């Protein structure tokens, strides 16, 4: 994040606007709407500036920019057609530790004015850090079309209720559930839009009198293999409604960025310097958090029912009478193969796919004879440390040493790396990869070069 998003209260605060043309005009309109005390400095002004001055809305100074014009200002905006003048404004503002917006020149600026969707007091700002202003404008237009005009009235109504909500409900979770009920109310928003405050008060009073559900619940959510874009829409909705998110090592930082900011996060995975939290302890965490009436999301990498031990966690919840639901995710086999250009099945090479845990023992509990069969694709999860044993067993049971293999490291993420070769090299290839990595074995791996796109 190169720019920190910040809303400023400019009411009755002095802002210097340097420039008097059409671009400066647009900035002046926004500043006046925000209630700022606007000073405008330029050698010439368009007609709206004189109208605003006559109406007492701003102050004009017909002069070239001078550093003393910044005296007493909270913010400076350089909106001239002169690169040199704009640079001067920026330099002098920086020397005074004052933020400065330079129109169409983000490299010179210390502040950016974003595209704005105004549903006051609800405000949505969109910025491309100056790289793609047209894209930001187009996105603003889309959001404008999606959001009804009366949202501002609903937000203002909620603002007036905040003291009562805080005194009525002691816990943050209770307050959040009340707000969710209010904002999802099918009639309140339309009543406010119609200006019927009496009916709105009646509907709101009914919400205060309704009991809030106290029973907790757990939602098992598959986070996908890494790329946040592969998180399902339902999964996104759940992590943004959670009171608590319990997550493991395979959940990417990009996905965690989408979790509600005020949700409690509990890490239960294995990482350097830490021991893996035992499954029994994870089960107990879920039971305790849900038992406190919280909405708990158990966030797992990939799909929770494919080598994710999700069923064990649900058994514990079921045995204790805790409500639960499951949101499946894209499993690593599907995501990593697609992002590597490797089809898991192909009419000419593989008519079946086997997903296999790589946690194999030396004496082997896997059906190696069938795993070594032709015309199928093998995908080994968690197999990096057992790569040598996988190679030995498959070769011993008749699989060709020339069978194509691929190790996909950090699959679907921006750090994805593929190490490819043949089965006889698997043990050596594994030393070139890092965890988490997926091992794909089969004739389809040979299609990677012509089909890969990531």
The CATH number that applies at residue 286 is 3.40.1010.10
Query: Could you give the number of structural domains in the chain?
Result: 4
Does the residue 1 lie in any domain? Answer: no
Token pair recorded at residue 200? 């709105």
Does the residue 186 lie in any domain? Answer: yes
Q: What is the CA radius of gyration of the chain?
A: 30
Residues 363 and 296 in one domain: no
Residues 201 and 222 in one domain: no
Predicted pLDDT of residue 77: 96
Does the residue 438 lie in any domain? Answer: yes
- List, for the chain, all residue ranges whose pLDDT scores fall below the cut of 70: 186, 212-214, 270-275, 360-364, 453-454
- The separation between CA 303 and the C-alpha centre of its own chain, rounded to angstroms, equals 19
Does the residue 4 lie in any domain? Answer: no
Does the residue 141 lie in any domain? Answer: no
| Phi, psi for 117 (deg, rounded to 5) | -105, 115
Residues 247 and 203 in one domain: no
pTM of the predicted structure, to 2 decimals = 0.64
Please identify every residue annotated as catalytic.
248, 270
Binding residue numbers for S-adenosyl-L-methionine: 225, 301-303, 306, 331-332, 382, 411
Residues 174 and 68 in one domain: no
Tell me if residue 3 falls in helix, strand or coil.
Answer: coil
Residues 158 and 175 in one domain: yes
Residues 129 and 18 in one domain: yes
Does the residue 395 lie in any domain? Answer: yes
Residues 378 and 339 in one domain: yes
Predicted pLDDT of residue 450: 76
- Burial code (b: 16+ CB inside 10 Å, e: under 16) for 16-39 equals bbbbbeeebbebbeebbeeebbbb
Does the residue 202 lie in any domain? Answer: yes
Predicted pLDDT of residue 59: 96
Residue 205's CATH number:
1.10.8.210
| Phi, psi for 435 (deg, rounded to 5) | -80, 140
Helices then strands (H, E): number in the chain? 17, 17
Residues 52 and 26 in one domain: yes
Domain of residue 165 covers 151-209
Residues 191 and 168 in one domain: yes
Q: What are the angstrom distances between the C-alpha of 223 and each of 209, 278, 433?
A: 37, 21, 23
Residues 295 and 383 in one domain: no
Residues 117 and 227 in one domain: no
């Amino acid at each position: 994040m190169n720019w920190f998003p910040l809303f400023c209260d400019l009411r009755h605060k002095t802002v210097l606007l340097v420039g008097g043309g059409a671009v400066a005009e647009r900035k002046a309109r926004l500043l006046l709407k925000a209630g700022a005390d606007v000073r405008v400095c330029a050698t010439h002004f368009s007609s709206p500036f004189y109208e605003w001055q006559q109406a007492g809305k701003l102050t004009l100074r017909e002069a070239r920019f001078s550093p003393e014009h910044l005296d007493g200002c909270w913010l400076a905006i350089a909106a001239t057609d002169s690169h040199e003048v704009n640079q001067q404004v920026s330099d002098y503002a920086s020397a005074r530790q004052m933020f400065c917006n330079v129109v169409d020149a983000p490299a010179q600026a210390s502040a950016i004015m974003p595209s704005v969707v105004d549903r006051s007091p609800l405000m949505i700002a969109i910025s491309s850090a100056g790289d793609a202003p047209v894209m930001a404008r187009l996105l603003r237009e889309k959001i404008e079309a999606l959001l009804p005009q009366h949202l501002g009235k609903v937000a203002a109504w909620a603002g007036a209720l905040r003291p009562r909500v805080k005194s009525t409900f002691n816990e943050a979770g209770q307050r959040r559930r009340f707000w969710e009920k209010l904002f999802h109310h099918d009639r309140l928003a339309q009543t406010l839009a119609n200006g019927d405050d009496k009916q709105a008060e009646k509907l709101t009073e009914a919400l205060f009198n309704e009991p809030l559900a106290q029973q907790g619940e757990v939602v098992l959510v598959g986070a996908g293999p890494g790329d946040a874009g592969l998180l399902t829409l339902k999964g996104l909705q759940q992590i943004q409604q959670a009171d608590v998110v319990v997550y493991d090592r395979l959940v990417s930082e990009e996905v965690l960025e989408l979790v509600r900011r005020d949700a409690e996060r509990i890490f239960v995975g294995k990482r350097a310097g830490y021991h893996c939290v035992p499954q029994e302890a994870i089960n107990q965490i879920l039971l305790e958090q849900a038992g406190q009436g919280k909405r708990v999301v158990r966030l797992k990498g990939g799909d929770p029912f494919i080598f994710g031990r999700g069923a064990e966690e649900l058994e514990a919840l079921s045995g204790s009478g805790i409500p639960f639901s499951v949101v499946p995710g894209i499993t690593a086999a599907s995501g990593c193969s697609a992002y590597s250009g490797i089809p898991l099945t192909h009419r000419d090479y593989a008519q079946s796919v086997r997903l296999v845990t790589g946690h194999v023992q030396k004496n082997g509990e896997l059906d190696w004879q069938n795993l070594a069969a032709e015309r199928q694709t093998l995908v080994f999860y968690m197999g990096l440390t057992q790569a040598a044993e996988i190679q030995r067993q498959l070769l011993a049971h008749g699989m060709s040493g020339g069978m194509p293999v691929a190790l996909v490291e950090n699959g679907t993420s921006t750090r994805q790396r593929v190490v490819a070769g043949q089965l006889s090299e698997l043990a050596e290839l594994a030393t070139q990869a890092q965890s988490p990595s997926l091992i794909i074995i089969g004739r389809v791996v040979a299609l990677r070069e012509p089909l890969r796109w990531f």
